[in-house]
Structure 1
Amino acid sequence: MDAAISAAHEAPPAVVLVSAGASHSVALLAGNVLCTWGRGEDGQLGHGDAEDRLVPTVISGFDAPGITSVICGADHTTAYSEDEHQVYSWGWGDFGRLGHGNSTDVFTPQPVKALQGIKIKQLACGDSHCLAVTMAGEVLSWGRNQNGQLGLGTTEDSLLPQTIQAFVGISVKMIAAGAEHTAAVTEDGEIYGWGWGRYGNLGLGDRNDRFVPEKVSSVEGEKMVLVACGWRHTITVSSSGSLYTYGWSKYGQLGHGDFEDHLVPHKVEALKDSSTSQISGGWRHTMALTSDGKLYGWGWNKFGQVGAGDNADHCSPAQVNFPEEQKVAQVACGWRHTLAFTEKKNVFAWGRGTSGQLGHGEIVDRNTPVMIDALSPDGPGCKKLESSAAIPFAAKIWVSPSERYALVPDEKVAKPGDVSARGNGADASVPENDVKRMRVSS
């Protein structure tokens, strides 16, 4: 690790945004600097190798100008260059989630040629699928589609971006992707859901899958302006700042004070007196940022990802405390960890740390926010940001898609009145480590 972009004792470039995947994290810094850290087995860090990084590391050689968006999928990453009108992607390539027309893993950022020259308003990445909303109003999707999460009317995976015909003539404001479902909010404030719906996470009043977007019934006459997805739950915010959640709630991730699923949007009463300005969904936890800079978390908390200082699940919002009561500017949920940066531009991370995804230089879990020194102007250990030494992709060992498969737990729907296995109790579908898929011999 040779190059450094900031001299000793100088503050690093200010953070612009953060995003988190299953076990990796990214940060876009001022000056078009892109850092990644955490698990790198599938190339999701973009450093040209499959090594983990325990501290934020600058992606060397990625000189695309005007990067305005960086979004993590579970084991892949996407970025958008506004100057070039170009989407880039890298990481695990199974099911075509990178949009390159194949299922090959990519270890450094590569342009998605099918989207070249298209002005993008927003990108969204789920576990194994991605979507883009264009400035022209189109919605495109690609990747895994076994439950119809691409919204194309089929269950066929797509190796290249395809237009969702159901949205032709409808102006989409924002999209969000979960593990196997997708949600959208239109400029008119309507919510749509499609894909895997077993827990009511589509908000359509039942547990059925949908292969094309379907409109959710209006919610108390309110127009929606924000939407986010957890693994199997959905979060949305109205123009008045009211917060609604629906879907799976075995771990309290809906925030309604219980562990009951909801098949339609349901207001989070605990935050009714606050105006929610930003939301993020993790694997089984939820974070909400209010307009006054306060951060709340709830849901599965085995690794401390809620940030409340304990490891107990929370079925109601718990406030997350920061040093000197710093106000929070942005939050991002990974599968089992959470990132946030404050108005002072200090970056914090907490939750699962086994792959270095917290950026603290260690592999321990944290149940309260801990500052990432390398990215924070107030970090006492702030010296310099490391840069990756790019390794040619040809030197990497490639494992063909036929030798890999994703492990997607087939969980049973709880019967009415079943109160067993709530909270942190045993759940056979929850892996104890972060191994998401197995390599098997052919």
Structure 2
Amino acid sequence: MDAAISAAHEAPPAVVLVSAGASHSVALLAGNVLCTWGRGEDGQLGHGDAEDRLVPTVISGFDAPGITSVICGADHTTAYSEDEHQVYSWGWGDFGRLGHGNSTDVFTPQPVKALQGIKIKQLACGDSHCLAVTMAGEVLSWGRNQNGQLGLGTTEDSLLPQTIQAFEGISVNMIAAGAEHTAAVTEDGEIYGWGWGRYGNLGLGDRNDRFVPEKVSSVEGEKMVLVACGWRHTITVSSSGSLYTYGWSKYGQLGHGDFEDHLVPHKVEALKDSSTSQISGGWRHTMALTSDGKLYGWGWNKFGQVGAGDNADHCSPAQVNFPEEQKVAQVACGWRHTLAFTEKKNVFAWGRGTSGQLGHGEIVDRWNTPVIIDALSPDGPGSKKLESSAAIPFAAKIWVSPSERYALVPDEKVAKPGDVSARGNGADASVPENDVKRMRVSS
């Protein structure tokens, strides 16, 4: 790996995938190279310390072979080694979201022993919970569960992965996790939702929570093939490439040209003539990639995370422009920032940057256009060398409980069923605007 890194200033390893959390980012590069950047205070970068990184930095000492998937939660990260059939996780451990059987923070990638030997099709991470779909179509979940988002029929947190029994006999193809809700698409093209549903983000026609997966009514007879979750909204794509959204829309994150919540899947008419090939949901914004390589964004845009060249909220899809009209290969939404890489293997970032999550070597927001990440891109203007962490063991760190590290944020005031005044543009009375972590407030 060291040899590959030393030559990176001439030709960075090709990017395979990107993912984004609340304030950190990750990229998997060819040659099994994993690099992270942004906020590191909870160990979510995996470098063995709590330091922020302002540029992509290779995780030294993590030599698990055949990494095929890396997914960010809000303040933690997971990865899957196909060669070992092993899931790894690291970062903020509260509520058991790392799956290690405790709530301890972890500062370097550690194996989730309960998943050893299980062939995983897909991982999904929300704010404080995680899920895995096995190659057999079974679903396991772990972490925070105060609204039933684990789908286990209870509201008890789970420190270890547990099988969702409600899917017995049903083969799941894909899962997605939001803040406190979860969605799934089955092999038969059915959508399921469970967890926190106060904005209709479960797609079940009401604002009630569900503790076990419940099937969403069929949408115009279409079969669904993709699903993604924002903080409190859900996005899905049919086999025909049609895009549907539902849930919270105070900031226009549903893309329907207004700011009204939708309690069931509703087609995004603005993209009806395009075939959507990939979707991603941020805290309050949405991104969609079409089959012809065009990227569209909409929703909350205070930090320019939509990529439309301004910081005004967009309630309809706006195309994101790239240098030389490069076609986009993948997109990933963080809470307030967005990542994408193009078919030319250039990586771009835009939006909130105060923790270095944009990877540009600075702590400023980027509003106008996507900015290339020099160290990861063959067209990077400075040909910067890809940095590597020192891989210092962090076993001696004294763990401090999150309640002592962070201010408590009151729970959000949510809409009650039938409360029309709380819908759409004006529904979130207490959603935090800053980067303070949201904590469960004991009653």
- CA distance 1:8–1:57, change in 2 (3 Å): closer
- Structure 2 matches for 1:30-429, cutoff 5 A? 30-366=30-366, 367-400=368-401, 403=404, 410-413=411-414, 429=430
8 Å Cα contact 1:404/1:440 also seen in 2: no
- CA distance 1:241–1:215, change in 2 (3 Å): same
CA deviations 1:335-378 (Å, max 9, x no partner) are 00000000000000000000000000001101420000000000
Q: CA deviation at 1:394?
A: 2.4
SS in structure 1 opposite 2:278? strand
- CA distance 1:407–1:291, change in 2 (3 Å): farther
Q: Distance in 2 between matches of 1:284 and 1:372?
A: 24
- CA distance 1:409–1:263, change in 2 (3 Å): farther
Q: CA deviation at 1:233?
A: 0.1
Q: CA deviation at 1:414?
A: 5.7
Single out whichever of 363-372 and 269-278 deviates more from structure 2: 363-372
Q: May I ask how many residue pairs the two structures share in their alignment?
A: 442
Q: TM-score, normalised by structure 2?
A: 0.95
Q: Distance in 2 between matches of 1:116 and 1:399?
A: 29
SS in structure 1 opposite 2:188? coil
8 Å Cα contact 1:180/1:196 also seen in 2: yes
Q: Distance in 2 between matches of 1:153 and 1:119?
A: 25
8 Å Cα contact 1:305/1:352 also seen in 2: yes
Q: Give structure 2 stretches of 5+ with no counterpart.
A: none
Q: Distance in 1 between matches of 2:57 and 2:216?
A: 42
- CA distance 1:414–1:145, change in 2 (3 Å): closer
Q: CA deviation at 1:284?
A: 0.2
Single out whichever of 419-428 and 264-273 deviates more from structure 2: 419-428
Name the % identity.
99
SS in structure 1 opposite 2:166? helix
Q: CA deviation at 1:391?
A: 2.1
- CA distance 1:217–1:180, change in 2 (3 Å): same
- CA distance 1:390–1:253, change in 2 (3 Å): same
8 Å Cα contact 2:409/2:432 also seen in 1: no
CA deviations 1:133-169 (Å, max 9, x no partner) are 0012210000000000000000000000000000111
- CA distance 1:426–1:115, change in 2 (3 Å): closer
CA deviations 1:390-439 (Å, max 9, x no partner) are 22222323113664679565334468999999999997634343221589
Q: CA deviation at 1:2?
A: 9.9
- CA distance 1:428–1:211, change in 2 (3 Å): closer
- CA distance 1:39–1:33, change in 2 (3 Å): same
CA deviations 1:165-215 (Å, max 9, x no partner) are 001110101000000000000010000000000000000000000000000
- CA distance 1:174–1:420, change in 2 (3 Å): same
CA deviations 1:6-60 (Å, max 9, x no partner) are 3374110000000000000000000000000000000000000000000000000
Q: Distance in 2 between matches of 1:208 and 1:441?
A: 22
Single out whichever of 133-142 and 243-252 deviates more from structure 2: 133-142
CA deviations 1:90-127 (Å, max 9, x no partner) are 00000000000000000000000000000000000000
8 Å Cα contact 1:403/1:441 also seen in 2: no
Q: Distance in 2 between matches of 1:423 and 1:137?
A: 36
Q: CA deviation at 1:381?
A: 1.1
8 Å Cα contact 2:37/2:57 also seen in 1: yes
Q: Distance in 1 between matches of 2:244 and 2:369?
A: 25
SS in structure 2 opposite 1:303? coil
Q: CA deviation at 1:259?
A: 0.2
Q: Find runs of 4+ consecutive structure 1 residues off by over 4 angstroms.
A: 1-4, 401-409, 413-428, 437-442
8 Å Cα contact 2:38/2:357 also seen in 1: yes
8 Å Cα contact 2:261/2:424 also seen in 1: no
Q: Distance in 2 between matches of 1:42 and 1:360?
A: 21
SS in structure 1 opposite 2:403? helix
Q: Distance in 1 between matches of 2:36 and 2:429?
A: 31
- CA distance 1:163–1:326, change in 2 (3 Å): same
- CA distance 1:336–1:324, change in 2 (3 Å): same
- CA distance 1:384–1:204, change in 2 (3 Å): same
- CA distance 1:402–1:371, change in 2 (3 Å): closer
Q: Distance in 2 between matches of 1:8 and 1:69?
A: 22
Q: Distance in 1 between matches of 2:75 and 2:53?
A: 14
Q: CA deviation at 1:234?
A: 0.1
Q: Distance in 1 between matches of 2:408 and 2:119?
A: 35
Q: TM-score, normalised by structure 1?
A: 0.95
- CA distance 1:120–1:8, change in 2 (3 Å): closer
Q: Distance in 1 between matches of 2:410 and 2:219?
A: 31
Q: Give structure 1 stretches of 5+ with no counterpart.
A: none
Q: Distance in 1 between matches of 2:68 and 2:8?
A: 27
